[in-house]
Amino acid sequence: MERLPKRKRQELLGQKIKQHPFITDEELMKDFGVSIQTIRLDRMELGIPELRERLKLMAELSYDEVKSLPMDEVIGEVVDLQLDKSGISIFEIKKEHVFSRTKIARGHHLFAQANSLAVAVINDEVALTATADIRFLRPVKLGEKCIAKGYVRSVSSGEKGKAKVEVFTYVADELVFQGNFTVFRSAGHMAQERSMEQ
């Protein structure tokens, strides 16, 4: 990639971070073919905080609280949550998550991130996975950041309410995992909703 003039590079850098708020300085360095110091200086001049600060800011905005399980039981860091609608979590693949020989993430970690997000988006005290239809689309490697996006597609009432939740996990723009989850919700929540409607 040919070197861009500073102003153009900074303009593109700002756009890239706006489109991909979870992008790392290392990824930006590769994309723009400049040193990490140049990326950091560009960010500082543009007034864009580092990734950790951006995550903290996003988490502080106005997200719903997880009801169905304690926050420390959610695999990955929840950065957006709208109960019974959608959620986003980020999970960085570290040494303890990979096979030592290949440095490829063990599948159950990707499943755990998606499954716990599917449960976390449910607006209920008790939510349990009933079924999961999952696909691994490419191996995830050490150091990669998995961004899981969960969407509640339908919620049924009745004695035992069920929700259908779809989760897509990306590394940068590439889809690496997809899961369709059926989540049971407790009957107590449904009864409470009915009494509010009356």
**pLDDT tens, 102-111?**
999 999 999 9
Assigned CATH class of 6-57? mainly alpha
Looking at the whole model, is its pTM more than 0.95?
no
Q: Where are the domains of the chain?
A: 6-57, 63-197
In degrees, to the nearest 5, what angle opens at C-alpha 154 toward C-alphas 128 and 79?
65
Equal fold, 6-57 vs 63-197: no
**pLDDT tens, 32-59?**
999 989 999 999 898 888 877 777 666 6
Count CB atoms within 10 A of the CB of residue 115. 22
**pLDDT tens, 73-105?**
889 988 888 899 999 999 999 999 999 999 999
d(Cα 30, Cα 4) in Å, to the nearest integer? 14
Three-class DSSP category at 112: helix
Q: Which CATH superfamily is domain 63-197 in?
A: Hotdog Thioesterase (3.10.129.10)
